[in-house]
Structure 1
Amino acid sequence: MKKILMWVGLVLVFLLVVFGIVFRNEITTIATTKKLNDKPFYEMNYRGDYALDKILKKGVDNDQELADFATKQLLHGIPVKIKVPNLGCTTFNAITPDGDKTFARNFDLDNAPVMVVRTKPKNDYESISVVDPGLIGIKAEGMNKPMGRLMTLVAPYIPLDGMNEKGLSVAVLKLQDENTNQNTGKPGINTTVAIRMILDKAKTTDEAVNLLKKYDMHSSSTATYHFQIADKRGKSVVVEYVNNQMKVLPSDKNYQVATNFYLSPEKYGQGKGQDRYKIATEKLEDQKGILTPEQSMDLLKATHLEDKGDNSKAMVTQWSAVYQQDKLQLDIATGHNYKKVYHFNVH
């Protein structure tokens, strides 16, 4: 009996060692997750390879294909669903009085957890991004549960805004229209894979646009989206898909603003957020595009959405982020609490 117990113990130890070796990156990643406030707001340092090149080569034509890839590649068979919900947002870029570049973003949605994720792929650019774990079904109360923590391993594929080590920033904003579904024979990408690709592989706005041109866009959920992309040289564009045609709208000023309506002439004004666009544009015009990072955060506060009633499904600002592109620093306030701003560096 003693020998049997000894061998059983040795087998268990062996299995634990093998498990630790096979899942070392996943275990380390989950161990880096830290709760910062009761929003809840978390940070994570992602370890390991999330196989971006593999998914770009294979292509994805919808959110389910991305979920299937994540299930197999990142979760070792544990199923996950990815769903981008209704959302409203405001973005703009500006210049500080010292000439540094900034990129700002409000993310508006019903109540959701928030997570800042650092990624450091082996052969691509290091970056920092902000994700909503609700996209993979994790609610606020689920973040502290083992399955919720495990599901956050999909975080690299659900970024909604971010900045890489070259100072390139990008954010996505929803539009009210039918899905974008390009079918030109190129590999497919969806909305969040596009952001991941830009952060990992582009160092300038032009490079980001050229990357998008190489893929057929299949927008997430039942809507279409546009992206604002800006680099630390100050070049900003808004990329839209009008009737499945990619449109690139460069700024003719030292700033640019986007909310949730089309800016392309063919559909200009279709959507919502004109009030937020007006507030941001007028402030930037008045300041000639020059704002300190603190003033950019103040402008995000001026355009943020807050539920004034008891509607738990109301669209409210989940986070306000200012990316200091020269300093590679993210300043972020969560849950429209602008008295507490957190600071993160890309590295």
Structure 2
Amino acid sequence: MTDEHPTRHWRTRLVHPRVAASQDFRALVPAIHRGSTVLFERVAEARDDWRGEGYSYGLYGTPTTRELALRIADLEGARAGFVVPGGQAAIALIYLAFCRAGDHALLPETAYGPNRELADELLAGLGITVETYDPLIGSGIAALIRRNTRLIWCESPGTITMEVQDVPAIVATAHAAGVPVALDNTYAAGVLFDAFALGVDVSMQALTKYVGGHSDILLGTVSVGTAEAQERIGATHRLLGMAVSPDDCALALRGLETLAVRLDRLEKTTLEVAHWLKARPEVALVLHPALPDCPGHEIWRRDFTGSASVFSVVFEPGWDTQRVTDFVEALRLFRLGFSWGGTHSLAMAYPPLPRTQRGYDGRIVRLNVGLEEPADLIADLEQALKQVA
């Protein structure tokens, strides 16, 4: 190319190069666009608005981050989507978009623990009351809705104890009272449960889990089904400055391409392991939505198109906390760790849960099944059971 300013110093040319590669490049994967400052040709084009179709500032998205938001929203059948730094950020964004001082929200008592902690440790100080409810309440939630109720949460299946909620019944009851419903849809990866077809207003998931799929990113998304929800979430997202890394978004985009095959394999392996555990004399209950003993199983059959990799085991009453601890620490392929949805199998023991029902007295272990061979996972569980017999 012709140099229009041949006398510019080399230091200036480091910042304003006189050569550039062609941008006419097409590949199978999206490019990673890193950048905060967006350039404009004219002052009249310069704006600072998240609503624009173009790009105005890196905080509101680069082509990489917007690609991920668009793809997730498309998969979920949503009106729009927003990418956030993690699942907990998604939860906080939804609360702060819909609730103000003096407002009331409802949360299943089986929700993700940090959701409850956010309510108790932050929202309470802001004058927002969050009341917990039995996840199996269904349309009975009408009795808990107040004049100042501004949000109802669902999470199905519930964390650790795996109760499947009657989300359509809750949605119908909430909407009759003019209250929006938000759903933590992480278990279903946004695809095994069709949240927006069943009337949910806002759906979030931790992309850290199944979409990322390799335990190496922290990301979340919030998808919206209505124009009102889009405006509330979008405006709050901007004010909170919830920027995300385009590199992490690129990893999530890569994870999306193998999500279907991973979910299929995880479902098959998990069911094989769950059925084996169900036949063991040490096990009192296997809490897997696809098994009839799991609370809400019939609703799972009605509303879900598949199951995922995480489930829980309740040991017989003779097991105490120490024996449960010894069991998980004796596992070798199942590593001891939180989170789930990756390629590695994980286990975690829990103390007595702060639940009015189904606390299971500290005899519960949550398992996440990875991509290992089922026979090897079963052998690992068997050797651990023998060690603590």
Normalising by the smaller structure, the TM-score range is under 0.3
Larger relative contact order, structure 1 or 2 (CA cutoff 8 Å, min sep 6): 1
TM-score normalised by L of structure 1? 0.27
Structure with the higher strand share, 1 or 2: 1
TM-score normalised by L of structure 2? 0.25
Structure with the higher helix share, 1 or 2: 2
